[in-house]
């Protein structure tokens, strides 16, 4: 009886990917200018508000018939307070932080209304059409600049070099595919949002408690659907794929390396959310916030770099597994099996 030993290739190493990703950024700190620059624009630049539109929405909420459960009125009142506070801070320029490809920003979560020089210029946009156009332009610009940012980070992470000529040559292609990818994401999430919001609203009309349970369940389902799409932009930049093929590659690779990818995403979320509390310690009108901006820029850019390293390792491991004829490996750790 012949026994052939097959040595499984080394699977992606999460900690090694993170270390290599941050090492690449420490050698190319110029890449931090992208997120730092965006935060400075949101901090010191003009604030395009929609206060009048939100106030009109609040007025409409007050006109809701009282043929509702008693506790529904409390929910409506809490919602009005949230929208009133949001009206003071919403800045349409946060559209520059496009998704899933875009430049990271600390201030898209803080939405500052003050800076060390005082208050920025506030412009109230009273037209819904104008506001939508501004967001569309900002989002498109964010994708365009985000394409440049992702290309540069990818090159630094995988080649330890920044060849700006190559980056600029590939810029139009990656920006176009990133725009298509964003459109697919928008359609996908709008479909989920419509279904989930209709279900939650309908149930909340009968019972607020049940409505809250539906919202929690909706959040869990949404995360489960989003998870396979985490690396959907990476195929565009690392393998020259088109948007749809990049999505399919992301789904395949995340399913193939589910446990390790889950660990990678968990570490990214813990680091990001944990340090976000530290970044928000300085008041928004203090120059100390610059330290937070730089720290946040280094963390997020380093994590993006690490994701490109990890994505490359996933592809390498997947190709080696397939070359051995093991399309469905039982384990994700290096071992020797007998065939």
pLDDT band at 327 (very low <50, low <70, confident <90, very high): low
* Residue 67 pLDDT greater than 70, yes or no: no
Q: State percent of the chain over pLDDT 70.
A: 84
pLDDT at site 57: 74
Closest CA to 40 of 107, 122, 85, 90: 107
| Most confidently predicted of 128-142, 186-200, 202-216 | 128-142
pLDDT at site 30: 97
How, if at all, do strands 5-7 and 336-338 pair? antiparallel
User: pLDDT of 230-288, one tens digit each?
Assistant: 999 999 999 999 999 999 999 999 998 999 999 999 999 999 988 988 999 999 999 99
Quick check: 241 and 235 in contact, CB under 8 A? yes
Q: Which residues contact 11 (CB under 8 A, 6 or more apart)?
A: 257, 260, 313, 317, 332, 333, 334
Residue owning tokens 């539109």: 53
Residue 52 tokens, joined: 């009048």
* Residue 293 pLDDT greater than 60, yes or no: yes
Closest CA to 300 of 36, 20, 17, 16: 36
Report the C-alpha gap between 79 and 108 in whole angstroms: 21
pLDDT at site 336: 37
Quick check: 154 and 308 in contact, CB under 8 A? yes
Quick check: 229 and 251 in contact, CB under 8 A? yes
The strand pairing partners of 118, in sequence order, are: 115
Half-sphere exposure (CA, 13 Å, Cβ side) for 228? Answer: 12
**Angle of CA points 193, 137, 91, to nearest 5°:** 70
**What residues does each domain of the chain span?**
5-50+90-338
Residue 62 tokens, joined: 């007050």
Residue 174 tokens, joined: 């990656």
The arithmetic mean of pLDDT across residues 164-176, rounded, is 95
The arithmetic mean of pLDDT across residues 161-180, rounded, is 95
**122 phi and psi angles, rounded to 5 deg:** -110, 125
The strand pairing partners of 319, in sequence order, are: none
- The DSSP result for 60-71, as a single string, is HHHTS-S-S-HH
* Residue 333 pLDDT greater than 50, yes or no: no
pLDDT at site 173: 96
Average pLDDT, the chain: 86
**48 phi and psi angles, rounded to 5 deg:** -95, 100
- The DSSP result for 281-339, as a single string, is SS-TTSTTHHHHHHHHHHHHHHHHHHHHHHHHHHHHHHHHHHHTT-SS-S-SS--EEE-
pLDDT at site 331: 45
pLDDT at site 334: 43
User: pLDDT of 229-241, one tens digit each?
Assistant: 999 999 999 999 9
pLDDT band at 76 (very low <50, low <70, confident <90, very high): low
pTM summary value? 0.87
Residue 162 tokens, joined: 């920044």
In whole angstroms, what separates CA 61 from the centre of its chain? 31
Other CB atoms within a 10 A radius of the CB of residue 265 amount to 17
């Amino acid at each position: 009886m012949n026994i052939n030993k097959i040595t499984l290739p080394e699977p992606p190493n999460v900690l090694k990917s993170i270390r290599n990703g941050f090492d690449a950024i420490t050698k190319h700190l110029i890449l931090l200018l992208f997120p730092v620059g965006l935060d400075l624009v949101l901090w010191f630049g003009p604030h395009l508000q929609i206060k009048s539109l939100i106030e009109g929405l609040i007025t409409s909420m007050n006109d809701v018939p009282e043929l509702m459960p008693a506790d529904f009125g409390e929910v409506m009142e809490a919602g009005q307070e949230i929208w009133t506070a949001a009206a003071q801070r919403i800045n349409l320029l946060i559209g520059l932080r496009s998704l899933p490809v875009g430049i990271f920003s600390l201030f898209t979560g803080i939405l500052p209304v003050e800076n060390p020089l005082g208050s920025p210029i506030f412009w109230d946009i009273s037209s819904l059409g104008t506001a939508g156009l501004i967001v569309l332009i900002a989002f498109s610009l964010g994708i365009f600049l985000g394409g440049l940012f992702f290309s540069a980070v990818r090159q630094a992470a995988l080649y330890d070099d920044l060849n700006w000529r190559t980056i600029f040559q590939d810029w139009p292609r990656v920006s176009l595919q990133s725009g298509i990818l964003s459109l697919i994401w928008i359609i996908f999430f709008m479909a989920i949002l419509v279904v989930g919001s209709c279900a939650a609203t309908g149930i909340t009309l009968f019972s607020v408690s049940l409505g809250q349970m539906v919202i929690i369940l909706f959040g869990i389902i949404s995360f489960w659907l989003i998870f396979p799409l985490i690396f959907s932009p990476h195929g565009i930049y690392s393998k020259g794929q088109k948007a749809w093929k990049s999505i399919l590659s992301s789904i395949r690779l995340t399913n193939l390396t589910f446990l390790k990818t889950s660990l990678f995403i968990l570490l990214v979320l813990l680091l990001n959310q944990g340090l976000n509390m530290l970044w928000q310690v300085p008041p928004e009108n203090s120059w100390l916030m610059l330290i937070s901006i730089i720290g946040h820029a280094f963390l997020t850019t380093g994590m993006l770099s690490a994701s490109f390293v990890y994505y490359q390792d996933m592809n390498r491991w997947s190709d080696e597994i397939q070359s051995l004829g093991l399309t469905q490996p039982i384990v994700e750790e290096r071992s020797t099996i007998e065939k």
